[in-house]
Structure 1
Amino acid sequence: MLWSNAVQSFPFNHKRVYRVYCQMGLNLRRRTKRVLPKRIAQPLEVLDQANYQWALDFMYDTLYCGKRFRTLNVVDEGTRECLAIEVDTSLPAGRVVRVLEQLKAERGLPTQLRMDNGPELISATLTDWCETNDIELVYIQPGKPQQNGFVERFNGSFRREFLDAYLFENLNQVREMAWFWRLDYNEERTHESLGNLPPAAYRAKLENSNSALSH
């Protein structure tokens, strides 16, 4: 009845209007929101062990021209090392896997990955890869970024000292500067929680201790 009254109110052929309506996709049902499985709060443990649990997170910023870009930050929770800062306008799940494959070749893989529930991180591409590589996925509860506290603290430093501190002309400039910033962070930045050692030196200390215990 309402459709009939509307048609009579406007001088349009109703079949033509409906055809345009369909062409615009307005007749399609709204996609239902994906329901996430229940996430259980996992306490942040202070681990004296490298390569046990890594934390992943994304950040956003813009170039000087206004074009947006993303960074994928990977942090070793045991040593606080920043293992990777991947930069691009788009970082889909396949790209996340590629970064992890590079880290696998460089230093092996962790036992666990801690992350939020972003679409790239709950995708079959990543979950299948982790299953193949025998990595446990630890998802934080939605809206609880503090449950990913190690990488969140890193993100705060990265935001203040890098993203907010410079104007970037292009992605290559971001990548190059991020590489040097990460090197300085790992090699020179001391952490009180690491006995006032920088992350790289703390990892070396752990490796030496483990080597001594094994002999």
Structure 2
Amino acid sequence: MELSSSPLHRPEALVSHANAALTPRARLRLAQLVVDRGWTYAAAAKMFMVAPRTAKKWADRYRAEGSAGMADRSSRPKTCPNKTRPEVVRHIVRLRWRQRLGPVQIAGRLGMQASTVHAVLVRCRISRLSHIDRVTGEPIRRYEHPRPGSLIHVDVTKFGNIPDGGGWRYVGRQQGKSNRATTDTDRRKGAVRGPLMGTAFVHTVIDDHSRVAYAEICSDEKAGTATGVLQRAVAWFADHGVTVERVLSDNGAAYRSYAWRDTCAELGITHKRTRPYRPQTNGKIERFHRTLADGWAYARLYESTEQRNALLPGWLHFYNHHRAHSAIGGRPPVTRLTNLPGHHN
């Protein structure tokens, strides 16, 4: 049997607002009892447990509009005399963007209530300063590529190596200096205060869609090292069913080299670079670096660099498979790896 095109026969028309006593279908039945079968308003209202004036309202609307008049209508008022004027809203937004003032400071300048200013900022989606770009003062435009492998971010973060016995962050500066002096390592040439502990260059790769991360600890950030990390990362993602299409990097020397260009061409990857002095463009991996520092590099007392390095693979497994990620609905990144062969074709 073919369904009618009336709004009452469409599934979305059967969902009433939260405070409604009757659904559209019940309203139609009530109105038909009054109009078509001659029931009194009181009798029909009693049957549906509503007030007689409610029964009259739906009966009158049924007479005027038929079954289409039973659908929900917006309760939004036609006019709102107390609504904040557009020129005031623009002034509030301008103070927020250019001077990064809070609701109390803006309200003091404009001679209005802070609650009104806050309501305007919420409506304009700039109630939190973290949503406003520090450089331009404009709302941050977030993006996310539609599938795993569509874009990966690459970068390098650096951590100082740890002397035997622990670094100053946990044992204090005096003990840390003593540990550094007794650690067996190469000394720099010339007059130096102690041995050169060196730096750990952590090359990181993160998938834009899923936030799945790959990382390696290297001794430098030269082009040869960076290209090797990219090749191994692409192979690692391929083992997880992800085909890398694009890579985004900053303007570091390694990523501007011919070796990097040729490696991307061999792998069939399109290389994109961020705007100079705009790390926000590569914000996902910058945020991952902070998580990496808090969750692994500075999470506990390490008594040597080797001890810290040995725990990186385990932490990466935890990050990818078990750690809830707020940007993807509180799920681990690996749950978004659905780019199986042919899945998105």
TM-score (norm 1): 0.70
Q: 1:75: which partner in 2?
A: 206
Distance 1:170 1:87 in 2: 15
Gaps of 5+ in 2: 1-140, 164-196
Partner deviation per Cα, 1:117-171 (whole Å, 9 max, x = no partner): 1111111111111122221111111211111011111111112222222454555
Say if 2:251 and 2:274, in contact at 8 Å, map to a contact too.
Answer: yes
More off after superposition, 140-149 vs 191-200: 191-200
1:118 equivalent in alignment to 2:252? yes
Q: What aligned pairs does 1:80-119 form with structure 2 within 5 A after superposition?
A: 80-82=211-213, 84-108=214-238, 109-119=243-253
Deviation at 1:194, TM superposition (A): 1.4
Other structure's SS at 1:121 match: helix
Distance 1:119 1:130 in 2: 15
Say if 1:87 and 1:174, in contact at 8 Å, map to a contact too.
Answer: no
Say if 1:113 and 1:136, in contact at 8 Å, map to a contact too.
Answer: yes
Deviation at 1:104, TM superposition (A): 3.0
Instruction: Tell me which amino acid in the other structure corresponds to 1:145.
Output: P
TM-score (norm 2): 0.45
Kindly indicate which of the two structures has a greater share of residues assigned to strand: 1
Q: What aligned pairs does 1:52-201 form with structure 2 within 5 A after superposition?
A: 52-65=150-163, 66-82=197-213, 84-108=214-238, 109-201=243-335
Distance 2:311 2:285 in 1: 20
Q: 2:71: which partner in 1?
A: none
Instruction: Tell me which amino acid in the other structure corresponds to 2:215.
Output: I
% identical aligned pairs: 22
Aligned residue pairs: how many?
Answer: 168
Which has the greater radius of gyration?
2
Deviation at 1:192, TM superposition (A): 2.6
Distance 1:164 1:152 in 2: 16
Say if 1:93 and 1:120, in contact at 8 Å, map to a contact too.
Answer: yes
Other structure's SS at 1:47 match: coil
Q: 1:37: which partner in 2?
A: none
Other structure's SS at 1:189 match: coil
Distance 2:222 2:321 in 1: 30
Distance 1:99 1:117 in 2: 17
Q: What aligned pairs does 1:13-24 form with structure 2 within 5 A after superposition?
A: none
Say if 1:187 and 1:200, in contact at 8 Å, map to a contact too.
Answer: yes
Distance 2:308 2:260 in 1: 26
Deviation at 1:191, TM superposition (A): 1.7
Say if 1:87 and 1:171, in contact at 8 Å, map to a contact too.
Answer: no
Say if 2:156 and 2:204, in contact at 8 Å, map to a contact too.
Answer: yes
Deviation at 1:190, TM superposition (A): 1.2
Quick one: structure 1 residues 92 and 169, their matched pair in 2 at CA, closer, same or farther if it must change by over 3 Å?
A: farther
Other structure's SS at 1:46 match: coil
1:46 equivalent in alignment to 2:144? yes
Q: Which has the higher contact order (CA 8 A, sep 6+)?
A: 1
Instruction: Tell me which amino acid in the other structure corresponds to 1:47.
Output: H
Gaps of 5+ in 1: 1-42
Distance 1:113 1:170 in 2: 34
